Chains A and B, each alone.
Chain A
Amino acid sequence: MTSTTADQPLSAAASSALSSRSPKTFLTVTLERIRTDAMTVGPLLFIVLIGLLALLANPLGNLLVGVDPNRTNLDAALQPPLLPSMARRLVGLDHGVADSLLEVSGGVTHWLGTDSLGRDQLVRLLHGARISMLIAFCAAGIAFALGTTLGMLAGFLGGKVDDFILWLINTFSSLPTLFVLILLTSIYKPNAILLTLFLGFFGWIGAARFTRGQVLQIKTLDYATAARALGASRLRIMWYHILPNTIPLIIVLIMVEIGTLVLAESVLSFLGFGVQAPQATWGSMLAKSGDFYFLHDPTTGNRVAWHLIFPPGILIFLTVLALYLLGDGLRDAIDPQLRVDRQG
């Protein structure tokens, strides 16, 4: 076969340059790409941080504030954050504000202030992160496990299976979700687990439709046909050819879905169908803060509850943004076509 090798001068020239390169596995290259991309590492660290805060909500709350998230104290209701006045006292600019705040709260340090019932904002944020993240991640997990599996089956097997799953998708998407939720909450006491299951079972439709479409498209491509011509089994084609080419887009979709679920949880909690008061979630905290945002102190004319809206709002915003960026970064990291590090 020397004649064919000879008319390929590139291979001979390239061989010396390439021979020194040690083959890297897919995983090490992917991790390396994630590590070197600030727009992926940053969001990843942020999500990990939020996760840690949520996990350590109890000890952290005890350490920093020392009160239960649901302990009310109407004397200290709508207290402004202690943090700025404490900081001013440290540099000698404080004129007794910190002391008077501490006096009202009975010595409890409400670093981020309190809500209308005098509950500590910081502790509630930590505990809220736990519920919000748990609901969003678990519901997205259920939705995508169900959705991608059913979508794959529908797209790949086709025929009767496809008809049945399409029928399921259409039936589910025509159900009035709120009505079902009201029905469920009137039978069962609404709680975080019920809400997770509910959001998961109604969230799979999008994932299933998307996956089905992707599979239908990839199934007809030549490389899937080539695998069939080689004698590969259906399972193998699904696992090695179709799945790896749908996963990148599914990752992005999952991240967007988690963000949407954080918001969905807040809406449902606000309507009273989700997590019940007094249990804190970011969504319910944000929803509640709106009631007091326009309340003014009659003597000074200042807003009295401005501090309630920003912390949960900013946290939701940053978490959703971080998830989105992370999804984008992960998709790029596993795409071989974006690997510049492989050139020579």
Chain B
Amino acid sequence: MSEAANMNGSGEVLLEVRDLKMHFPITRGILIQRQVGSIRAVDGLDFDLIRGETLGLVGESGCGKSTTGRAILQLHRPTAGSVRFEGVELTETSGPNLRQMRRRMQMIFQDPYASLNPRMTVGSIVGEPLDVHQLGNSKTDRQERVRELLEIVGLNPYFVNRYPHEFSGGQRQRIGVARALAVNPSFIVCDEPISALDVSIQAQVINLLEDLQRELQLTYLFIAHDLSVVRHISDRIAVMYLGKIVELAERTELYENPSHPYTEALLSAVPVPDPVVEAKRQRIILEGDVPNPASPPTGCNFSTRCPKAMDRCFQEEPEFRDVGDGHYAACFLNEE
């Protein structure tokens, strides 16, 4: 992963997301349902993913990170917008064609306990994608592939006949990774893959994901709320707030030179492992709560909590624009 490939505009674009919106209707009435509003979980996202890179997606709980991942994979059908993956418009693909596309894009889930069917053996869990897409010529072929996959993720192939409950959280997450890898995807959405794990296990899983990326040329959309983990694994980072990306930049650039007040506040909350620096660290404490995504504020979404908000922020919505060198931000402060 050369630094140059991380920049927008260089390298092959694998995934192109334009104006992605995912609104969930709020309905009232039992017999005659009528829509009284909508929760704007994701409200207009634009970004590209370059083949081989890792894009970190951070933000607080409920800002729409997971929904973004699921809307890209068409697990939720987006309300509006376009998702082009390897040149195919996913929002217009359905049925067998979409199922066929799922061979190229996979997902790793947050909760390793809920994401594995408790009544299937590890062998059938990891082998299911092979069955679904009829990969491999025979049953023995598939069994061989399952063993190989378990070895790839660092599990003993003798575990094939065991059930998920016989494994620890970290091992279960490895099973989930093996399942995602079974179809040889090029793109994996990692939906907070380490949040549910012990800290000691987190590093193992992160290393595994990095090794796999190197060896199999994978592209990740890495969703997380742990900023230090995201910094470690990502090439570029997108910061989400209330259904919108407020800032997107190459990781060092984002951490050293944040241009959105929300990113500044988020970064100021990360503890520094140096007592001298830590003592001088200035925390920006945001006041108030995240507004209700069913009725976002007019103007800039962040205006209600922004320490630098101006009059203009309450009326107009800032444009998500390039502030230099592939560093994007949606804030009026960057306009000269």
A residues in contact (CB < 8 Å) with B? 1, 3-5, 7-8, 11-12, 14-15, 18-19, 21, 23-24, 221-223, 225-233, 236, 240-241, 244-245, 336-337, 339, 342-343
Contacts and interface: CB of A to CB of B under 8 A. Distances in A.
B207 A4 contact: yes
Nearest to A20: B158
Pick from A3, A8, A228, A231 the residue with the most CB of B within 10 Å. Answer: A231
A8 B118 contact: no
A165 to B, nearest CB: 16
Closest 9 CB pairs of A and B: A231-B102, A11-B156, A4-B154, A222-B115, A231-B99, A336-B163, A222-B114, A18-B158, A23-B161
Given A4-B208, A4-B211, A231-B129, A18 B103 contact: no
B155 A8 contact: yes
Given A229-B107, A231-B133, 20 more contacts: A1-B211, A3-B207, A3-B211, A8-B154, A8-B204, A11-B154, A11-B156, A222-B109, A222-B111, A225-B75, A225-B115, A226-B115, A226-B179, A230-B128, A231-B129, A231-B132, A240-B120, A245-B119, A336-B118, A337-B118
Interface in B136-154: 151-154
27 contacts: A4-B153, A4-B154, A4-B207, A5-B151, A7-B204, A8-B155, A8-B204, A11-B154, A11-B156, A12-B156, A222-B109, A222-B114, A225-B109, A226-B115, A227-B128, A229-B106, A230-B106, A231-B99, A231-B100, A232-B132, A233-B99, A236-B132, A240-B120, A241-B117, A244-B117, A336-B119, A342-B166
Contact of B154 (A1, A225, A337): A1
Contacts of B132: 230-233, 236
Pick from B102, B155, B158 the residue with the most CB of A within 10 Å. Answer: B158
A14 B155 CA distance: 11
Contacts of B114: 221-223
B128 A1 contact: no
A342 B162 contact: yes
Contact of B129 (A11, A23, A230, A240): A230
Contacts of B160: 23
Contacts of B153: 1, 4
B165 interface: yes
B183 interface: yes
Contact of A232 (B100, B128, B208): B128
B287 interface: no
B73 interface: yes
Contacts of A232: 99, 128, 132
B215 interface: yes
B49 interface: no
Contact of A337 (B158, B163, B215): B163
A229 B120 CA distance: 17
Contact of B156 (A18, A225, A226, A337): A18
B109 A226 contact: yes
B42 interface: no
A230 B103 CA distance: 7
B116 interface: yes
B66 to A, nearest CB: 11
Contacts of A21: 158
Contacts of A4: 153-154, 204, 207-208, 211
Interface string B82-107: 00000000000000001111110011
A208 B109 CA distance: 31
A344 to B, nearest CB: 10
Nearest to A14: B156
A311 to B, nearest CB: 42
A82 B155 CA distance: 70
A245 B154 contact: no
B158 A15 contact: yes
B163 A342 contact: yes
Nearest to A223: B117
A343 B160 CA distance: 14
Given A19-B158, A222-B111, A1 B152 contact: yes
A257 to B, nearest CB: 23
Contacts of A221: 114
Contacts of B99: 231-233
B205 to A, nearest CB: 10
Contacts of A11: 154-156, 159
Contacts of B107: 225-226, 229
A21 B119 CA distance: 20
A83 B156 CA distance: 66
Contacts of A227: 117, 128
A230 B163 contact: no
B165 A336 contact: yes
Contacts of B119: 244-245, 336
A154 to B, nearest CB: 16
A19 to B, nearest CB: 6
A15 to B, nearest CB: 5
Contacts of A8: 154-155, 204
Contacts of A18: 156, 158-159
Contacts of B103: 231
Contacts of A3: 207, 211
B65 to A, nearest CB: 16
Contacts of A245: 117-119
A24 B160 CA distance: 11
A157 to B, nearest CB: 15
Contacts of A222: 109-111, 114-115
Nearest to A337: B165
A5 B178 CA distance: 14
Given A229-B106, A230-B128, A230-B129, A223 B115 contact: yes
A39 to B, nearest CB: 22
A44 B119 CA distance: 24
Nearest to B115: A222
Interface in B210-269: 211, 215
A221 B164 CA distance: 15
A229 B207 CA distance: 24
Contacts of B120: 240, 244
A229 B158 contact: no
